[in-house]
Amino acid sequence: MRERPPEPTDATDASTPTVRGTPRQGVASATLGFFVGFAGVVCYGPVASEFEGAMGLSGLLLGLLVAAPQLTGSLLRIPFGAWVEDVGAKKPFLVLLGLSIVGMGGLSALLLTAYPDGLTMAHYPIVFFFGALSGCGIATFSVGSTQTSYWYPSEKQGTVLAAFGGLGNTSPGLFTLALPVALAALGLTGAYLAWFAFLIVGTVAYASSAVDAPYFQFVKRGVDEREARRRAEACGQELFPGGDAMASIRGAASIPRTWVLVALFFTSFGGFLALTTWLPSYWQAVHGVDVRTAGALTAVAFTLLAAVIRVPGGIVSDRLGGEPTAIASFGAIVLATLVLVVTREFAVAVAATILLGAGMGVASAAVFQLVPTYVPDAVGGASGLVGGIGAFGGFTIPPILGLFVDLQGTPGYATGFVVFLVLGVVSICLSSGLYRTRSALVSVDSSAPTDD
């Protein structure tokens, strides 16, 4: 039950509506929270060999352990992205980051008491569980993207969403570089204790700086929803919740274009997650580099690049349109993967990987630039579906790549990139379909009756 509204204040009674914070502060705080939580993608990956040696894990169990944070983070994107429609972004953010703190704290406590000699296969379920909890912060992507959409007008969606997603997405790459260094300096337990402290500090920083969009601020002050919308419009807010959380999900799911965007994000962002975990093995098997070099190549030439380039990718999407930008970026993915399939030259492979990372980063920005355009009445539900189901590419693609290795041996690491080639071609076709029907969508929206 909603608490009794507070007594009226000058802020709620004034003829000129006032809100706390600014659009820039809104997107900056969302980006900070996402950066803190999204690092959980690589909770186990960079130091997987430590757990493998201590517990004697098979390849399957190790793969499941490494994937645990991503699975949890993806599944929770859908309900938490839609929950923003009801309460704004701050509360869902804090719940997800709080769960991550519990997971990392539990893992640190386990390592303090059991690692190295006492950590055995019997601890696998609890290690998996704590990894899953630590990955809850990954789901802040859909929360933050919805929050950002409510703060900014439609013509700036691509730029600000790309800034949010691009800067926040840098944390896995940075942690991939930092965790092995922390392991050498502090040991496994010390490295996770440092991560635990980082989560606490980052969550406190987010809580102190976060500001919900104007509509939610007015509602929390006890303002009637209709009046809150009027005041928020006067403050420049253009997008508003379309209903409760489940209604938002159902509304988004009922729109065919939502599933086109899901498919596109499966290739771009799901592919990004998949290759973040797969590329180190490719570099070691095909090009014979050591583990640290393979991790550095993955982080610098792919993961960080794909994250940072989302910012200019969003700007381009705003200026040229999301659909043309998506077509071009998926074309880059097709070209890059074709080169990776056929080449065994190290320098050429590095160049192709850079092109692949750029293509996936720009494509991800373009797809989310299109979400408010095609699903304006259920942005939260659509963000959850696109971000959550689309991210499942990170879980379903690696096993397929593994089949190529099982069938072909070492050459399979290269020929497996044909999977991304096929996905890229399909994505070009889907993006072209959106582009061809865009004018019809605009015509329908402009002819729709509006309330006086």
User: Are 206 and 255 in a shared domain?
Assistant: no
Whether cis (ω within 30° of 0) applies to the bond prior to 398 is no
399, two tokens: 């096993």
Please tell me the pTM assigned to this model. 0.73
Domain carrying residue 419: 244-442
Q: Is residue 382 part of a domain?
A: yes
Q: For the chain (length 452 residues), average pLDDT per consecutive 10? A: 38 55 85 92 76 75 76 82 80 95 94 87 92 91 81 73 79 83 86 94 93 83 80 76 69 85 92 83 85 82 87 84 90 96 94 95 88 74 79 80 81 91 95 78 47 39
445, two tokens: 């929206």
Domain termination residue (choose one: 161, 190, 212): 212
Contacts of 42 by beta carbon, 8 Å cutoff, 6+ apart:
172, 175, 176, 179, 276
CB burial readout 256-283, b (16+ within 10 A) else e? ebbebbbbbbbbbbbbbbbbbbbbbbbb
Per-residue model confidence (pLDDT) at position 245:
63
User: Are 274 and 393 in a shared domain?
Assistant: yes
C-alpha distances out from residue 185 to 166, 181, 363, Å: 29, 6, 38
User: Are 274 and 399 in a shared domain?
Assistant: yes
Q: Is residue 235 part of a domain?
A: no
What's the rounded Cα separation, in Å, for the pair 23 and 152?
A: 7
Q: Is residue 44 part of a domain?
A: yes
Dihedral pair phi/psi, residue 122, rounded to 5°: -65, -20
What's the rounded Cα separation, in Å, for the pair 86 and 241?
A: 8
User: Are 206 and 299 in a shared domain?
Assistant: no
CATH number, residue 387: 1.20.1250.20
User: Are 261 and 207 in a shared domain?
Assistant: no
At residue 139, what is the residue type? A
Tell me the helix, strand and coil percentages in the chain, rounded to 5: 85, 0, 15
Q: Is residue 248 part of a domain?
A: yes
Number of Cβ within a 10 Å radius of residue 306: 30
Per-residue model confidence (pLDDT) at position 134:
93
Q: Is residue 226 part of a domain?
A: no
Contacts of 119 by beta carbon, 8 Å cutoff, 6+ apart:
51, 54, 55, 110, 111, 127
User: Are 207 and 254 in a shared domain?
Assistant: no
Contacts of 202 by beta carbon, 8 Å cutoff, 6+ apart:
32, 33, 35, 36, 97
Question: For the purposes of burial, counting CB atoms within 10 Å of the CB of 1, is it exposed (0-12), middle (13-18) or buried (19 or more)?
Answer: exposed
Q: Is residue 271 part of a domain?
A: yes
* Domains held by the chain: number: 2
What's the rounded Cα separation, in Å, for the pair 36 and 60?
A: 29
DSSP at 41: G
User: Are 304 and 396 in a shared domain?
Assistant: yes
Q: Is residue 165 part of a domain?
A: yes
Domain termination residue (choose one: 212, 234, 260): 212
User: Are 373 and 432 in a shared domain?
Assistant: yes
User: Are 280 and 427 in a shared domain?
Assistant: yes
Q: Is residue 346 part of a domain?
A: yes
Dihedral pair phi/psi, residue 447, rounded to 5°: -90, -10
User: Are 322 and 428 in a shared domain?
Assistant: yes
Residue pair 77/388 in contact by the 8 Å Cβ criterion = yes
User: Are 164 and 262 in a shared domain?
Assistant: no
Domain termination residue (choose one: 212, 235, 258): 212
116, two tokens: 């190295």
User: Are 54 and 107 in a shared domain?
Assistant: yes
Strand segments, DSSP code E, in 384-430 are none
Per-residue model confidence (pLDDT) at position 443:
45
